[in-house]
Structure 1
Amino acid sequence: MSPAFRTTTIAVHTGRRETVKDLTGDCEAFLSSIGAREGLLNVFVPHATAGIAVIETGAGSDEDLLDALADLLPRTDRWRHQHGSTGHGRDHVLPALVAPHATLPVVAGRIALGTWQSVLLVDTNRDNPDRTVRLSFLG
């Protein structure tokens, strides 16, 4: 493995309800711990029912995202994928709308996010309360 490539995983407890978890601090801590300066940070959730989003949080946008997903992907028994709780099939469609990854520029050791942007784990799967997220830096 190249010394310019570093990777780690973090465990994220999301609980038994739909949630949006801010990972920005975890990402920044990882970059700091490896002395990252310039490059790319990839954030990847290796689960079939979760995604990574880069949006504003704290002003209601995170709840708006969950509401929009509920409108687009209702938690009903209409889904062909039918195991787990009612409507779990929608959770398997989520990554088509909220990708399971994001690649972000790192400049001067920090993620080059916009003023109000945060890196978020989006998890609508109430059947799986624990997630793993892989952070990989290429510099």
Structure 2
Amino acid sequence: MSHAFTTSVLNVTTGATETVADLTRDCEEFLTRASGGRDGLLNIFVPHATAGIAILETGSGSDDDLLATLHALLPAENRYQHRHGSPGHGRDHVLPAFVAPHATLPVIGGRLELGTWQSVCLVDTNVDNANRQVRLSFLGQ
């Protein structure tokens, strides 16, 4: 029998470029092991000060649109007070105010309840840190 609360950590390598990494399959695989077919909630959390979790359509250009929009809102310039790392790295520390570092989603019958075109994505604009951890936690009844 599955426990009411189960958690696991994904190690994700995002590379040396800004990225939107689709984690949907990883979330579904975790739920297959953790949910026992039960209803509950999946919490996705990235414990980094320069990354976030987004629910959006991927593969149709929306992921690139998100990165372009973040560039327009948060240009990689040296105007930020937080100045260590690559030039303009301060913007990466502002990112989680726009793309939260967490999301909580419904799980019904052990399956992630997403809309037809929705995916769970890690948004990472920090090119100085290519290794990320993402914590998946299932709370079920």
Q: If the TM-score is normalised by the length of the shorter chain, which range does it land in?
A: over 0.9
1:51 CA displacement: 0.0
Deviations 1:76-96 (A, max 9, x none): 111110000000000000000
Return 5+ residue gaps in structure 1 as ranges. none
- Deviation string 1:35-84 (CA, Å, 9 cap, x unpaired) is 24200000000000000000000100000000000000000111110000
Equivalent position SS for 1:103: strand
Q: TM-score, normalised by structure 2?
A: 0.96
How many residues matched? 138
Kindly tell me: are residues 94 and 32 of structure 1, through their superposed partners in 2, closer, same or farther at Cα, counting changes over 3 Å?
A: same
* 1:21 corresponds to: 21
Partner of 1:117: 118
SS of residue in 2 equivalent to 1:127: coil
What is the identity, as a one-letter code, of the residue corresponding to 1:76? E
Q: Percent identical across equivalent pairs?
A: 69
Q: Which residue does 1:55 correspond to in 2? A: 56
Name the counterpart of 2:133: 132
- Measured after TM superposition, the shift of residue 3 of structure 1 is 2.2
What amino acid maps onto 1:132 in structure 2?
Q
Distance 1:19 1:117 in 2: 17
Distance in 2, Cα, partners of 1:28 & 1:53:
16
TM alignment of 1:1-139, pairs within 5 A: 3-34=3-34, 35-139=36-140
Unaligned regions of 5+ residues in structure 2, if any? none
- Give the whole-Å Cα distance in 2 for the aligned partners of 1:97 and 1:55: 14
Q: Which amino acid aligns with 2:29?
A: A
Partner Cα distance (1:117, 1:68) in 2: 19
One-letter code aligned to 2:18: E
**1:20 partner amino acid:** V
